[in-house]
Amino acid sequence: MLDEHCTDEALIAYTRALLAEYPWPPAGESSRTAAALLDRLRARRQFALLAELADRVARRAPQDAHVRRLQAQALIETGQPSAAIDVIQAVLRKVEARSREWAELNGLLGRAFKQIFIDARKALDATDLAALQNAVRAYRKPREADPSNTWHAINLVAVAACAERMHLRRVPRVDFRALARAILASPPTSDAWDAATRAEAHLALGELDELEEQIRRFLAHDAIDAFAVASTLRQFEQVWELGQCGERSRVLLDAMRARLLGLPGGRCDLSLRELLQSQQAGTAPNARLEAILGTDGTRSYRWWQAGLRSASSVASIRTGLDERIGTGFLVAPGEFGVAAAGALLLTNFHVVNAQGSAGALRAEDASIVFEAVEPAAQYGVKRIVWSSPVDRHDATLIELDGPPPANLEALSIARRLPVRPEDGPSRVYVIGHTGGGGLEFSFQDNELLDHEGPRDNRFDATPCRLHYRAPTEKGNSGSPVFNAADWKVIALHHAGGTLSRLNGKPDTYPANEGIAVLSIISAMRAG
């Protein structure tokens, strides 16, 4: 069994090795080990692997309610709440009523129905309202069976408060304010979830000072993982709509996002509206931040704000039909030894090049939009300053046909790469337009797997590759890859998949690949 502090790479590789065994799991140690991995995969938010592993274990142990519950959890987290409901309802028919597993399954059933409602909230029909009604009923059963059960109670509070804000009358009546007071009257515990629960109860009662104190307590807890923080953040964002409640509330959301990105498996996706709100929240005074977050929390919050500012300099690259096909980012002419009247943008060769080769746009067909600052303004390509094909640096440096938007700064280039994994763990971050989709910025926490950087930090024209673990998608091509310390760019993201390991190491692994920007600069200067 792996150590609980193992890297994401080790956990993923170990799980995939077990999954490669077929038929599997056999009786004995392998099966028990696999079952023990499920909770760990959930904690690291490896939901696709969790779903696959839980399905495999469930084939051999179809009556194991714990396994089936985690399978349902994975289905919800991967956007399949209806499938999760089918799994949960089948298991509920077989577990002992009022048992702990029965309560957990009902809570997860409420979660699945709640997600169906949330996903459709802007255009509700009878089916969606029925989902909300079913969520209330699922949460209510365990609460009525055990009045000391605060998990189900606080979810009752949240969905009932949401229904009131939306003036929905066809929902089972819940006196959520009385229920919130009952939760707060229960004895506190040292558990991290207790702090999150009490934070929601205070929010239901409009007690913002107490809300802030419980969020501080939650985020400072040394036992929280990415799953706990992401779940709490989702509840405050989607159900409570905390981002609409003023600056104090937005600061709390960003504190949670900062904490999430500092944990293994952390990832945040922000819409344009959320990004702008978060940037505005950055005006909160230090004294206020420290009162909410403490000294360490304030530092992580300021780090997050630096990431938000970096996002402003990341642009989407579009076709003439306004389809987002890639990403680029502003760089300083001086960093690249270029004289330019317009702004400079770095992206992939396979996104934009002069010939339109490798499936790219021709320069004259590309438009660039800085969606975080001027979503209605489109820039064209004045000229291609330099490019390198896909099998080299996969890079194109573009001069735009005008200066950048006001107050927008070029991203800083790091003067060295992070240490290799054998010298200590390192993390990198990617900001891009995930999936080529809407106005969404993806902040991803990635484990650095390896890189080819020279030990003496003297780069030449040879492409220097970095590998990192990240769920980057189509549309992230051309995204900046940042170091973890101060949001300086270390690489240009360009590919992902099953890749050969670097530095002559045998075998392959699932990874994403970027090209070190310092090697791109060296290649440019070499001519």
Question: In the block, which residue shows the tokens 């699922």?
Answer: 138
Is residue 208 domain-shared with residue 86, that is, in the same domain?
yes
CA distances from residue 468 to 426, 427, 428, 481, 491 in whole angstroms, order as listed:
10, 8, 8, 10, 11
Do 77 and 195 lie in one domain? The reply is: yes
- Percent of the chain at pLDDT above 70? 90
Residue 377 pLDDT greater than 90, yes or no: no
Residue 159 included in any domain: yes
Range of the domain at 328: 323-400
Q: Which of 132-136, 154-158, 260-264, 316-320 has the lowest mean pLDDT?
A: 260-264
What pLDDT, on a 0 to 100 scale, did the predictor assign at position 235? 96
Residue 298 has pLDDT above 80, yes or no: no
Over residues 422-448, mean pLDDT: 72
Average pLDDT score over residue span 111-132: 89
Going by C-alpha positions, the residue among 453, 496, 492 that lies closest to residue 472 is 496
pLDDT(363) > 90 = yes
Assess if residue 245 is contained within a domain: no
Does residue 289 register a pLDDT over 90? Answer: no
Percent of the chain scoring above 90 in pLDDT: 50
Helix (H, G, I), strand (E, B) or coil at 6: coil
CB atoms within 10 A of CB 4: 8
Q: What is the C-alpha to C-alpha distance for residues 362 and 384, in angstroms, rounded to an integer?
A: 10
Q: Does 53 map to a domain?
A: yes
Kindly report, residue by residue over 486-495, the tens digit of the pLDDT.
999 999 999 8
Instruction: State the pLDDT at residue 360.
Output: 93
Mean pLDDT rounded to a whole number for the chain = 87
Residue 295 has pLDDT above 90, yes or no: no
Residues in the chain: 527
Residue 351 lies in a domain: yes
In degrees and rounded to multiples of 5, residue 327 shows phi and psi of: -135, 155
Nearby residues of 527 by Cβ (< 8 Å), 6 or more positions away: none
CB of 254 closer than 8 Å to CB of 309: no
For range 154-159, the mean pLDDT: 96
Is 506 in contact with 402 (CB distance < 8 Å)?
A: no
One domain for residues 37 and 173: yes
Q: What's the rounded Cα separation, in Å, for the pair 241 and 455?
A: 48
pLDDT of 472 > 50? The answer is: no
Cis, peptide link before residue 404, omega less than 30° from 0: no
Given a contact cutoff of 8 angstroms between Cβ atoms, the answer to whether 162 and 114 are in contact is: no
pLDDT digits (tens, 9 = 90+) for 394-418: 999 999 998 888 888 899 999 999 9
Q: What is the mean pLDDT of residues 140-164?
A: 93
What's CA 193's distance to the chain center, in Å? 20
In a domain, 490, yes or no: no
Per-position DSSP letters for 379-421, written without gaps between them = B-EEEEEEEE-TTTT-EEEEEESSPPPTT--PPPBPSSPPPPG
- What is the per-residue pLDDT for 182? 96
Considering the domain architecture, whether residues 224 and 341 belong to the same structural domain is answered as no
- 3-state helix/strand/coil string of 330-378: EECHHHHCCCCCCCEEEECCCCEECCCCCCCEEHHHCEEECCCCCCCCC
Torsion of CA 336, 341, 342, 344, to 10 degrees: 0
Q: Is the peptide bond before 25 cis (omega within 30 degrees of 0)?
A: yes
**Do 24 and 169 fall within a single domain?**
yes
Report the DSSP pairing between strands 361-362 and 352-353. Answer: parallel
The CA–CA distances, whole Å, from 371 to 272, 276, 441, 449 equal 7, 10, 10, 31
73, 109, 117, 171 from 129: Cα distances, Å: 22, 15, 7, 8
Mean of pLDDT values over 332-348: 89
Mean pLDDT computed over 164-173: 85
State phi, psi for 476 to the nearest 5 degrees.
-80, -10
> What mean pLDDT is predicted for residues 423-448?
71
DSSP designation for 501: P
For residue 282, what pLDDT band results from cuts at 50, 70 and 90? low
Q: Which residue has the higher pLDDT, 114 or 14?
A: 114
CA dist., res. 513 & res. 311, Å (int): 20
Q: SS3 helix, strand, coil % of the chain, rounded to 5?
A: 50, 20, 35
- Provide the domain count of the chain: 2
Residue 466 reports pLDDT greater than 90: yes
pLDDT bin (cut points 50, 70, 90) of residue 189 is very high
The CATH number of the domain holding residue 139 is 1.25.40.10
Phi, psi of 373 (to 5 degrees): -130, -35
The helix-helix angle for 29-43 and 226-234 (nearest 10°) equals 50
- Residue range 308-317, pLDDT digits in tens: 889 889 999 9
**Does some domain include residue 222?**
yes
pLDDT bucket at 439, cuts 50 / 70 / 90: very low
Residue 133 has pLDDT above 90, yes or no: yes
Average pLDDT for 139-167: 93
**Overall average pLDDT of the 266-271 stretch:** 76
Q: Which of the two residues, 443 and 144, has the higher pLDDT score?
A: 144
How confident is the model over 219-242, as a mean pLDDT? Answer: 92
Answer yes or no: is 132 within a domain. Answer: yes
Residue where one domain finishes, among candidates 400, 416, 451 = 400
Among 280-289, 421-430, 446-455, which stretch is predicted with the lowest mean pLDDT?
Answer: 280-289
E strand segments, 223-290: 267-271
Min mean pLDDT across 154-158, 384-388, 467-471 is at 467-471
Average confidence (pLDDT) over 355-372: 91
Residue located via tokens 């501080």: 216
| Residue 151, amino acid | W
User: Is the same domain home to 231 and 327?
Assistant: no
Domain contains 105? yes
**Residue 337, token pair as written in the block:** 């030894």
* Residue 304 CA: distances (Å) to CA of 9, 150, 445, 494, 514: 25, 32, 12, 24, 22
**Residues 197, 520: Cα–Cα separation, whole Å:** 49
CA-nearest of 278, 405, 400, 428 to 328 is 400
Residue where a domain stops, chosen among 379, 400, 421 = 400
Among 373, 400, 427, the domain boundary falls at: 400
Stated as kind and residue range, the H or E segment containing 289 is helix 286-312
Q: Is the pLDDT of residue 57 over 80?
A: yes
Closest CA to 36 of 68, 1, 6: 1
Helices (H) and strands (E) in the chain, counts: 17, 15
